[in-house]
Amino acid sequence: MTAIPSLRRALVTGGSGELGSAICHALAAGGYHVIVHGNQSLHRADDVAAAIREQGGSAESCAFDVTDAGVTRAALDALLAEGTIHAVVNNAGIHDDAPMAGMSDEQWHRVIDVSLHGFFHVTQPLLLPMARARFGRIVSVSSVAAQVGNRGQTNYAAAKAALHGATKSLAREMASRGITANVVAPGIIEGRMIGDDFPPERIREMVPAQRAGKPAEVAALVAFLCSDAAAYINAQVIGINGGMA
């Protein structure tokens, strides 16, 4: 589907997942034409985009591997040929947990490749078009693990914490062009990713709010940061974790 020219366009990496889907729906409700990204699951991205259109929103889908610089650039060039991408939500990320003493090189590099290198591969080509438009919103999804650490996740915490420094620096570089860059750091959020590691009794022990967050709660924060109302919020790491950090 071709974007409606009058709408600002937003790209959500990992938009076919549970959290990504909620973010896509929230952005569409806020008036964006949403580009739903999937990696190897274009059919899931198609489904999210179709659901948005059925609800009266504007959306399309795409799929590419954010760890591959060349493939990502080619995909973004094709999208940019249709117009500026005004907002990007770097939501793509993976877990591959192990204690660092037993972590393989592959586990370390794979997690960092997606969250950190993917952030660069996706965001960098969008910056100059945003600057020419004098408007841009960059939101990267981190984790409470990057703020307080978590056993078995040195790779994940390192990748997400790196986004904090990169985002603060990027915000300083681009702020005069009407572009903001912020980080959202969720805690324990409902969905498949928490699995059996976080039974209800453990969540009550860990989270002062005594419950897991909802994808829609994170999505609402992301959508706000991508709105005109958030123009003076920049270079921030905003936790959404029920009081964990």
**Is the CATH number of domain 9-240 3.40.50.720?**
yes
Query: What's the chain's length in residues?
Result: 245
Domain ranges of the chain: 9-240
**pLDDT tens digits, 182-240:** 999 999 999 876 766 788 888 999 999 999 999 999 999 999 999 999 999 999 999 99
pLDDT of residue 15: 97
Give the type of residue at 189: I
**pLDDT tens digits, 126-155:** 999 999 999 999 999 999 999 999 999 999
Per the annotation, the verdict on 232 as an active-site residue is no
Query: What is the edge-to-edge ordering of all strands in the sheet holding 9-12?
Result: 58-63, 33-38, 9-12, 87-90, 136-141, 179-186, 237-240
pLDDT of residue 41: 76
Which residue out of 156, 182, 187, 226 is catalytically annotated? 156
Long-range contacts of 94-98 (CB under 8 A, 24+ apart): 95/153, 95/156, 95/193, 96/155, 96/156, 97/152, 97/153, 97/156, 98/152
pLDDT of residue 195: 64
pLDDT band, very low/low/confident/very high, at 4 (cuts 50, 70, 90)? very low
* Helix locations, 30-81, DSSP H: 42-54, 69-80
